[in-house]
Amino acid sequence: MKQRVLSILRESIAQELVLEKPRDRSFGHYATPIAFSLAKELRKSPMVIADELASSFGKDDAFSAVEAVKGYLNFRLSEKFLDEYATWALSDPKRFARADREGKILLEFVSANPTGPLHIGHARGAVYGDTLLRLGRHLGYDITAEYYVNDAGNQMDLLGLSLQLEAMSSLLKMSVEYPEKYYRGEYLKELAIEAKSEFGVEIFTDQDRTLELASWAKDRVMEIIIKDLADLNIHFDTFVSEASMYEKWDEVVAKLKDGAYKSDGKLWLCSTTHGDEKDRVIVREDGRATYLAGDIIYHHEKFMRGYDSYINIWGADHHGYMARVKSAISHLGFDANALEIELSQMVSLLKDGEPYKMSKRAGNVILMSDIVQEIGSDALRFIFASKKSDTALEFDVETLKKQDSSNPIYYINYAHARIQTLLSKSDMKPEEIVATPLVDLNEDADALLFEALLLPEVIEDAFDSRAVQKLPEYLKSLSARLHKFYYDHRIIGSVDEARYLKLLMVVALALHTGLELLGIEAKDRM
């Protein structure tokens, strides 16, 4: 709707326009401060310019009023304009709130080490990334969702060793001495039982087969991860293995040129030349590559694929890692500005006000799958998308089980279901309702219609600002306005039944579309 208004205004005002929504709706639907931008150029006060611009508008079907208020130019949209937009949306619901943006984006998120099931912290980035993916695709972008599998390095050695130790202890009943660092949890016991069936017990005591066992376990853990993500309605287009890319290491190092140097028997990245606090080791004295080396190869491979832009979603603990990766990208000859890194903070869970207990199956974390099983994927997705990703999130799982207005996802679904119930009670056919003009609406109905038609702007803003929480905020606000309208106005059997039902169909479309973009299916019955 905003874009339609802007295109109309550009026919009369040949300037770059910014449209704002006045806090006081009595001033109109939109306002622009264009007069303030023109004041210096025209050597007139903004108030005079705004008055002149307002008077220059003749009769226009899009606006019922154009007024100058304290230097601002305020626009009230006509009922004809709003009704035409609403009718179009209801006639072509799949196109509602979509755009035709162009551009290829590679979006990498989750990318948790394949050493154990996903924990609740991983879920935060998973929901954020998938919601961003859905928003971007709805706007027209060609986006590839990618999972980077860290299947090289010490964590693979440790996975194989941890599985051997678990098997020796729980299956072979041997006395084992655990190292200071190892993976633990009942999932390892489950893997050990499977491995025994596939390989026999000999693999658990043969140190030469540790990596073989680790490779097998990695694949099984990835199957668990993929299933857990699917249960959360999250799916990836591509999976890239870190281990598979090391054959290109010599080629990548050669491309670094002056961006790398040898000192003290190590290979260093000159990351200080691009804002890092110190240079970083990428190959140790013994020839083993560091974690950063894998990221350098991966980002080289990413940029070689020729996307327009790249988005990484990392855990907040990777904040200090950003400069060194961008430095490597620059040294490789690519534009580091094409890479955008978004951070996802950890999560604190409560249950009845007390800290949520760790999962026995995971060992020392709260498993994502446990929470999905307890509160459902819809509730988890909604609450994780409802707060800015780089800020801490704390919530009580018991709140999300409640079937009342304290549970936001219940509150929104109830608004959608309430509308479906009203439509089912009416004797009017859907096409008859859609054909009814939305005219002579009262103030409450006008405000509800306008807010429902704002969804396209919310989607664009949420994606462009990478602030997906703006969509849940909008859905809660729209639901609250709908519930109030329901209580304040008689609908079925009133003289306004047809108009009100058309209005509510627009609201239902906005709620349904918004929930779908959050990966949630709107409920028709509650």
pLDDT digits (tens, 9 = 90+) for 418-437: 999 999 999 999 999 999 99
For residues 167-185, average pLDDT: 92
Looking at residue 180, the DSSP 8-state letter turns out to be S
Instruction: Tell whether the model's pLDDT for residue 282 goes beyond 90.
Output: yes
Share of the chain above pLDDT 70, in %: 98
Q: What is the pLDDT of residues 95-109, one digit of tens each?
A: 999 999 999 999 999
Indicate the pLDDT class of residue 319, thresholds 50, 70 and 90: confident
Task: Enter the pTM of the model.
Answer: 0.93
Looking at residue 311, the DSSP 8-state letter turns out to be E
Q: Which residue has the higher pLDDT, 42 or 504?
A: 504
For residues 394-407, average pLDDT: 90
Of the listed ranges 27-36, 300-309, 420-429, the least confidently predicted one is 27-36
- Domains of the chain with CATH codes: 2-77 (3.30.1360.70), 84-99+403-517 (1.10.730.10), 109-246+299-401 (3.40.50.620)
Instruction: Tell whether the model's pLDDT for residue 1 goes beyond 80.
Output: no
Q: What share of the chain is helix, strand, coil (3-state, %, to 5)?
A: 55, 15, 30
Mapped onto helix, strand or coil, the DSSP state of residue 413 is helix
Q: Which residue has the higher pLDDT, 42 or 508?
A: 508
Q: What is the pLDDT of residues 460-492, one digit of tens each?
A: 999 999 999 999 999 999 999 999 999 999 999
Q: Which residue has the higher pLDDT, 364 or 7?
A: 7
Taking the C-alpha atoms of 42, 46, 49 and 55 in order, what is their torsion angle to the nearest 10 degrees? 170
What pLDDT does 361 receive? 61
Cα–chain-centroid distance for residue 24? 31
From first CA to last CA, the distance across the chain in angstroms is: 31
